[in-house]
């Protein structure tokens, strides 16, 4: 078996300590708040502190990882004699994975003896993280780099993202909904339920009349789509609403007997666009 490294980026919303445990190095997307010259990496500020600043009116702007940053991160791995598989943040939401591909293309010329593979996961947050987790399990089971890349290429079309947000203003800022829809939805207490499509874009699917109804709707999508509702794996991410995350996990356990393997924060780079109160469920389904 050839020696290789699985590499990713911080939009997977897996804590750095856990990525280190999985032996997965990463590069970080960044953000800054309007009026603040300081730029932060995704994990530099505690998530709760980040969301508190958003609740206080702070507006965060995010930035993709550039080609030179990728080259600087990839090259020591290649120099050390390892091949590299980069799993990247959805190209439907960021230019990050495209930059990773450009860096890989340049480095292939300098290291023709090394395998440098790039997979656009078409996924975000802990859904992206779930694909990294599955790749790690394959690597640790002895699968070759090409087999792992092919597996993730296939599974990305079965990786279901279902989520809701608490405040429509953030989707309005990102152009996901109109100002009129945001105003009416806020007045009526409407909570949209969205997913990520096969191109890695956010799609508004349906509307729930309140938070409780939105959680039930997400659970119903799990019942409808999960390949094996009793088996998992299942990840949940949240924008500083841990009680709702646990409530959803309890619903799934009560209905299907499935244990949620990981509950994690929606990191600042994703949360800047979805806002406090975002709640997302990720699992493998018959289709996205």
Q: Could you report the per-residue pLDDT of 58-115, keeping only the tens digit for each?
A: 999 999 999 999 999 999 999 999 999 999 999 999 999 999 999 999 999 999 999 9
Domain-embedded: residue 232: yes
Q: Which of 110, 138, 155 is the last residue of a domain?
A: 155
Domain-embedded: residue 238: yes
Q: Which of 140, 155, 170 is the last residue of a domain?
A: 155
Residues 271 and 278 sit within 8 Å (Cβ to Cβ): yes
pTM: 0.93
Domain-embedded: residue 258: yes
Q: Tell me: do 17 and 122 sit in the same domain.
A: yes
Q: Tell me: do 14 and 151 sit in the same domain.
A: yes
Q: Read off the pLDDT of residues 149-186 as tens digits, 9 standing for 90 and up.
A: 999 999 999 999 999 988 777 766 655 555 555 544 55
Domain-embedded: residue 209: yes
Q: Tell me: do 175 and 72 sit in the same domain.
A: no
Domain-embedded: residue 221: yes
User: Which domain does 188 fall in, by range?
Assistant: 159-284
Q: In this structure, what CATH number is given to the domain that contains residue 124?
A: 3.40.50.10440
Whether a cis peptide bond, with omega within 30° of 0, leads into 233 is yes
The C-alpha atoms of residue 278 and residue 93 are separated, in whole angstroms, by: 17
Total of domains in the chain? 2
Least confident of 21-25, 40-44, 57-61, 209-213: 209-213
Strands 83-88 and 4-9: parallel
The C-alpha atoms of residue 29 and residue 10 are separated, in whole angstroms, by: 6
Q: Tell me: do 175 and 146 sit in the same domain.
A: no
Q: Tell me: do 133 and 183 sit in the same domain.
A: no
3-class DSSP string for 178-227? CHHHHHHHHHHCCEEEEEECCCCCEEEEEEECCHHHHHHHHHHHHHHHEC
For residue 82, CA distances in Å to 114, 194, 253 come to 7, 39, 41
Residues 164 and 191 sit within 8 Å (Cβ to Cβ): yes
Domain-embedded: residue 273: yes
Q: Which of 128, 155, 182 is the last residue of a domain?
A: 155
The C-alpha atoms of residue 217 and residue 275 are separated, in whole angstroms, by: 20
Domain-embedded: residue 34: no
Q: Tell me: do 15 and 133 sit in the same domain.
A: yes
Q: Tell me: do 138 and 207 sit in the same domain.
A: no
Q: Tell me: do 271 and 219 sit in the same domain.
A: yes
């Amino acid at each position: 078996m050839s020696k290789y490294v699985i590499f990713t980026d911080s939009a997977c919303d897996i804590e750095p300590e856990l990525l280190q445990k999985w032996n997965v190095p990463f590069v970080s997307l960044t953000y800054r708040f309007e009026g603040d010259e300081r730029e932060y990496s995704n994990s530099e500020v505690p998530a709760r502190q980040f969301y508190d600043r958003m609740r206080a009116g702070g507006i965060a702007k995010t930035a993709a990882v550039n080609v030179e940053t990728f080259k600087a991160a990839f090259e020591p791995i290649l120099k050390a004699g390892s091949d590299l598989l980069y799993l990247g943040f959805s190209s439907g939401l960021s230019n990050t994975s495209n930059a990773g591909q450009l860096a890989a293309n340049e480095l292939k010329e300098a290291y023709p003896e090394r395998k440098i593979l790039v997979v656009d996961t078409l996924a975000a947050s802990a859904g992206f993280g779930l694909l990294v987790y599955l790749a790690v399990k394959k690597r640790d089971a002895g699968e070759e780099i090409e087999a792992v890349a092919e597996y993730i290429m296939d599974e990305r079309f079965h990786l279901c993202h279902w989520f809701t947000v608490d405040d429509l203003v953030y989707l309005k800022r990102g152009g996901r909904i109109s100002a009129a829809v945001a105003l009416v939805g806020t007045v009526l207490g409407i909570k949209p339920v969205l997913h990520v499509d096969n191109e890695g874009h956010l799609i508004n699917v349906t509307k729930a009349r309140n938070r409780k109804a939105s959680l039930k709707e997400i659970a119903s999508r799990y019942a409808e789509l999960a390949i094996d509702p009793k088996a998992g794996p299942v990840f949940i991410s949240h924008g500083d609403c841990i009680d709702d995350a646990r409530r959803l996990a309890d619903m799934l356990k009560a209905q299907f007997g499935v244990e949620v393997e990981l509950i994690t924060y929606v990191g600042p780079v994703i949360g800047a666009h979805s806002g406090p109160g975002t709640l997302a469920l990720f699992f493998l389904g018959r289709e996205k």
